[in-house]
Amino acid sequence: MSGTLESLNKHFGLSGKINFVEDHNLVKLEVLSQSSRLECYLQGAHITSFKHNKAGELLWLSPIANFAQGKAIRGGIPLCWPWFGKHSDASLQQHGFARNSLFEVSKTSALDNGDVEIVLRLTANETTLSIWPYQFLLEVSITLGESLSVELISHNKDDKPFFVTEAIHSYFKLDDISRLSIGGLEGAKYYDQLSDKECVQAEVNCCINQETDRIYQAPENGIQLLHNDGVKIGLVQENANAVVVWNPWVGKSASMNDFPDSGYKNMVCVEAANARYKVINLAPGSRHSIKQTLQIALE
């Protein structure tokens, strides 16, 4: 591990901005911009912390998350790819293999405006080919500054077309779920995954007081996640046709071994996705990008 870290820091480290460290036997990037700090594991290109200088930590990370090679980390921003949700083949794990796969670093740079950019990549290997028989390149471009952008770029490197569904599965940290309201979804159609019904959001704000698992048709004007302690997060989603809102509430929290029983009180997932309403059809040689930017405003 120490040789790997030395080589990563030599080729991709940026003094005072990007440092590679070992954590739980995994490689983690610590990234510093003028206005924020980020932590990201190479496994899954998984961001686990986004701390804004004024607003504090914005992401929820389970205090009992598993950190182990090949295991998805509970919390932060897992990436669901090349499929979102359950696969029709029940032997294949929910949300695809990207979140369990080891990414490589492709590029790091300090931008002129003080932001820091990191590009991570995953390509087909023996394991992915045994699950999903396509040659691909998945790039994850992360830009950290006053806001945080995560972009997923799928490239078809095969000689046959393939389909992708995907999500930037963001877990937000809350003081208290009872004080959360999500704006921007009024009038939006959604599929309720719990009741298996198509519904329409009647209320101006989406508030959560029970188990919630919905796939909304993405609204045109973005959504606002209203934090309960005066922090407002604007979510700008590009090329996403769906927004997933998930909170496991009491019963489901208790059934997950990497999730504290009372964890549902302090988190909500709001995910930019391409799922249910549209699959991405990628012809050989083509690419598709989905992007989510978290913009922070203090009230």
The answer to whether the beta carbons of residues 28 and 22 sit under 8 Å apart is yes
Binding residue for ligand BG6 (CB under 6 A) from 52, 95, 173, 291?
95
Of 93 and 109, the one with the shorter C-beta distance to ligand BG6 is 93
Give the Cα separation of 15 and 18 in Å (integer).
6
Q: Can 11 be counted among the known catalytic residues?
A: no
Per-residue b/e over 222-255, b at no fewer than 16 CB within 10 Å?
bbbbbbeeebebbbbbeebbbbbbbbbbeeebee
Task: Give yes or no for residue 94 binding ligand BG6 (CB under 6 A).
Answer: yes
- Is residue 97 a contact point for ligand BG6 (CB under 6 A)? no
The question of whether 169 is a catalytic residue gets the answer: yes
State yes or no: residue 246 binds ligand BG6 (CB under 6 A).
Answer: yes
Q: How far is the CB of 66 from ligand BG6 (least distance, A)?
A: 11
The string of DSSP codes covering 191-239 is: EETTTTEEEE--SSEE--SS-EEEEEEPPTT-EEEE-TTSEEEEEEEES
Which of 126, 169, 211, 227 is flagged as catalytic?
169
Nearer to ligand BG6, 169 or 173 (CB): 169
Q: Is 244 in the site for ligand BG6 (CB under 6 A)?
A: yes
17 lies in the site for ligand BG6, by CB under 6 A: no
DSSP structure class, residue 2: H
Q: Is 178 in the site for ligand BG6 (CB under 6 A)?
A: no
Query: What's the min distance (Å) between Cβ of 216 and ligand BG6?
Result: 11
User: Strands 104-110 and 116-123, how do they pair?
Assistant: antiparallel
Q: In what helix (H) or strand (E) does residue 160 lie, and over which residues does it extend?
A: none
Looking at beta carbons only, is 20 or 216 nearer to ligand BG6? 216
Q: Is 46 in the site for ligand BG6 (CB under 6 A)?
A: no
Contact 279, 157 (CB under 8 A): no
Residues assigned a catalytic role: 169, 271
Contacting positions for ligand BG6 (CB under 6 A): 94-95, 169, 193, 213, 244, 246, 271
